[in-house]
């Protein structure tokens, strides 16, 4: 886990994802993302607001990376 990450119970947000069919890019879809931590897999996040603009979510050994520009609306965090 990254040392500057903030420990939380859950995180929820809506994100744009590419819509692909038969190898063709057909635009974007909006997907709801909800990640919940547990004792076995603690949850934390880190926001990199630098030039890349990333949201990093750490769940146990897994790391999920989202571009802030792809996130729609607000990020809901339960601490």
Question: Is 55 a member of any domain?
Answer: yes
Which range marks the domain in which residue 68 is found? 6-78
SS3 68: helix
Please tell me the pTM assigned to this model.
0.82
Question: Is 1 a member of any domain?
Answer: no
In 3D space, the residue among 33, 6, 2, 15 whose CA is nearest the CA of residue 73 turns out to be 15
In 3D space, the residue among 51, 53, 46 whose CA is nearest the CA of residue 67 turns out to be 53
Question: Is 39 a member of any domain?
Answer: yes
User: pLDDT tens digits, residue range 7-65?
Assistant: 999 999 999 999 999 999 999 999 999 999 998 999 999 999 889 999 999 999 999 99
Segments of the chain assigned E as strands: 6-8, 10-21, 24-36, 43-48, 54-59, 62-67, 71-78
Q: What's the number of domains the chain is made of?
A: 1
User: pLDDT tens digits, residue range 22-35?
Assistant: 999 999 999 999 99
Question: Which has more confidence, 20 or 79?
Answer: 20
Token digits of residue 55: 């949201």
Question: Is 59 a member of any domain?
Answer: yes
Token digits of residue 1: 């886990």
């Amino acid at each position: 886990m990254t040392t500057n990450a903030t420990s939380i119970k859950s995180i929820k947000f809506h994100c744009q994802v590419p819509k692909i069919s038969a190898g063709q890019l057909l635009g974007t879809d909006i997907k709801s993302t909800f990640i919940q931590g547990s004792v076995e897999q603690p949850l934390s996040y880190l926001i990199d607001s630098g030039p890349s603009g990333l949201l990093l979510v750490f769940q146990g050994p897994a790391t999920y990376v989202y571009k802030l520009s792809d996130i729609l609306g607000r990020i809901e965090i339960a601490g």
